[in-house]
């Protein structure tokens, strides 16, 4: 079992919202690994909060509380600058989104897996040298 993971914003959103894979996302709290994120993670999470508000799923107070509570979760932040060149190369190579590749770049740098609820991105790395870096949210080990 890995003792650390890179976690993406799709997983973090499930810590606060009643969504599919909520129980799986909470397993990260149960197994208490070291969590790592690129700085961009907080902006992406904020984008998710805004999207939920536009859909009338949360109000402003809930959104502010989610962002405040997220910052209280111990996660090691990594500067985007140290990840961007590799992430850009991966994005070109995989024909994938740069934002997704920031998580992949951090995972390869730390030699650990990134946990995601983004099936499309995981599919984009299937059958590549990067496949073992991705971990589907429901495949997290039990505590």
pLDDT tens track for 57-73: 999 999 999 999 999 98
Q: Is the pLDDT of residue 38 over 60?
A: yes
Domain count, the chain: 1
Place of tokens 């799986």: 24
| Reported pTM | 0.88
Confidence of residue 22 (pLDDT cuts 50, 70, 90): low
Contacts of 10 (CB under 8 A, 6+ apart): 48, 116, 117, 118, 137
What's the confidence (pLDDT) of residue 9?
94
Q: Alpha-carbon distance 42 to 72, whole Å? A: 12
Confidence of residue 1 (pLDDT cuts 50, 70, 90): very low
Return the CATH number at 124: 3.40.50.1010
Buried b (16+ CB within 10 A) or exposed e, 45-78: beebbeebeeeeebeeeebeebeeebeeeebeeb
Host domain of residue 56: 4-139
Tens digit of pLDDT for each residue in 77-90? 999 999 999 999 99
Q: Is the pLDDT of residue 31 over 70?
A: no
Contacts of 32 (CB under 8 A, 6+ apart): none
Q: Is the pLDDT of residue 143 over 70?
A: no
């Amino acid at each position: 079992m890995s003792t650390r993971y890179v976690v993406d914003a799709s997983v973090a959103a499930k810590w606060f919202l009643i969504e599919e894979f909520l129980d799986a996302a909470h397993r990260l709290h149960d197994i208490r690994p070291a969590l790592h994120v690129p700085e961009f993670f907080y902006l992406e999470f904020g984008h998710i909060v805004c999207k939920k508000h536009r859909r009338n799923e949360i109000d402003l107070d809930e959104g502010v509380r989610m962002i405040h509570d997220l910052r209280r979760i111990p996660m090691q932040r990594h500067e985007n600058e140290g990840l961007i060149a590799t992430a850009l190369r991966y994005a070109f190579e995989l024909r994938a989104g740069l934002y997704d590749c920031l998580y992949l770049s951090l995972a390869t740098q730390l030699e650990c897996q990134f946990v995601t609820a983004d099936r499309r991105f995981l599919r984009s790395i299937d059958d590549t040298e990067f496949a073992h870096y991705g971990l589907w949210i429901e495949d997290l080990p039990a505590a």
